[in-house]
Amino acid sequence: MIDLSPEMTAAVMLAVVFIGVMLGFPLAFVIGGIAVTMGILLFGPALATDIMYRRAYSLLSNYILLAVPGFIFMGVMLGYSGITEKMFSALYVWLGGFRGGLAVVTILVGTIMAATVGIIGASVTALAIIALPEMVKRGYSKSLASGAVCAGGTLGILIPPSIMLVVYGPMAALSVGKLFFAAFIPGFILSGLYITYITIYSFAKPQVAPVVAPEERAVPLLKKTADLFISLVPPAILIMAVLGSIFMGIATPTEAAGVGALAATLLAVAHRRFNLQVLKEAARETLVVSGMVMAIGAMAFAFVGVFMRAGGGDAVKEIILAAPGGKWGIFAIVMFVVFMLGYFIDWLGILFIVVPIITPVGDALGFDPLWFAMMICVNLQTSFMTPPFAYAIFYLKGAADPSLGITAGDIIRGVFPFVFLILIALGLLVAFPQLILWLPGQMIKAF
């Protein structure tokens, strides 16, 4: 065994994680390998094995995390149900006549999908297939169209039911139900900021967002009203079934995930999109994504167990709390570090590794734990649109029809304004913390 100071242990373990990720190795292998190696070197094989086993088992047997496959299955099955296309078509005839209307519709559909899907891969891919061609073919700027798809699609990782929030809760010992309702208003604020930007930009530069021709939206008022109503009722019912049951204290998030998975399947049946092949594909995608989450989570929990046992958590906490600038200066440093990590590390890695380390810092500074957690989650929205590690950009590039001529440069130019809007939202949440804290305070506490 070797004798390292807590500061040196923290520096070595975090540096090797960063180097391993930069070299392109899978995150689970990197953090798992570091946990095993440093655990044996610091504590010997027997104690290291005990620490890592107990930590990994505690995560994999966590009841709350059973909601992860439930919500993933719900989101995947909704993708197959066809309700996204119906929503886009219905909103298209209502807002296509406004300048920038199709991009606004894209954000609105992304917002509604966010409250029913919860995984960005499904949202961004669906919008790339449905909305992107409609905008590009009608003369929209490729950058604006790409930015709207990425921004609208990534709202699903914040607005409940969000996999990020399901994972965050156990990491910080917070109620997932409270996190769900703390995220609603911030998510809608982001959606509103995106729509405001698109509207102002489209009027300032009319050439980037032409108005849809009148003949394309010449639909009788009664029909387009009926189409809108029919397209919005199914997701509204699903949202009420899942989130309403949590808010009223009728069900836990895990139970609500099961209800949501069943409801999504029934919606696919009702829309005549359900068959054995769809069920197999939904189950396969659920297994793949859930397996990735659990593998990274188990390895990260083992890593954090070794890190904390070696004193790394206390060392990092002392270093951060000794930073200049007082309470808000330290908070700004934490937020900057999380923002920068989003450029290079998977959001799951940030949650599993960083949250257990920085949560005590927030407590020591006297911040409300729920508010502090939500600030981190909103901050992590940027990680999906900041290259080189930007899921939304990769999903869009992979799903976009090659004939549209969308380049990586178009997408990157398009997402940067939306990243800036997320930073504005963070400022609003700092200035008005009740935007986060009010709704969770209204929950009926049955669990």
| Cα R_g (the chain), whole angstroms | 22
* Mean pLDDT over each residue of the chain, to the nearest integer: 87
pTM of the model: 0.86
Residue 249 has pLDDT above 80, yes or no: no
pLDDT tens profile 374-419? 999 999 999 989 887 788 888 898 888 888 889 989 999 999 999 9
Write down the domain spans for the chain: 6-442
d(Cα 215, Cα 128) in Å, to the nearest integer?
A: 25
Q: Tell me, what's the pLDDT at 226?
A: 87
Residues 80, 328: Cα–Cα separation, whole Å:
46
Give the pLDDT score at 374: 95
41-75 confidence digits (pLDDT tens): 988 988 888 888 888 888 778 888 888 888 888 88
Angle in degrees, 0-180, between the axes of helices 253-270 and 176-204, rounded to the nearest 10: 50
pLDDT at 360 exceeding the cut of 60: yes
- Scanning the structure block, which residue is given the tokens 């304004």? 417
Residue 446's pLDDT band, with cuts at 50, 70 and 90, is very low
- Say yes or no to pLDDT of 118 above 80: no
Give Cα separations from 317 to 31, 280, 342, 354, 355 (angstroms). Answer: 20, 46, 20, 11, 12
Q: Kindly state the percentage of the chain with pLDDT values over 70.
A: 98
Q: In this prediction, what percent of the chain has a pLDDT beyond 90?
A: 30
| Per-residue DSSP letter, 351 | I
Q: What is the pLDDT of residues 298-311, one digit of tens each?
A: 888 888 889 888 89
pLDDT of residue 277: 92
For residue 126, the model assigns a pLDDT of 84
Q: For residue 133, what are the contacts with CB-CB under 8 A and spacing of at least 6? A: 401, 404
Residue spans of alpha helices (H) in 240-311 = 245-247, 253-270, 276-309
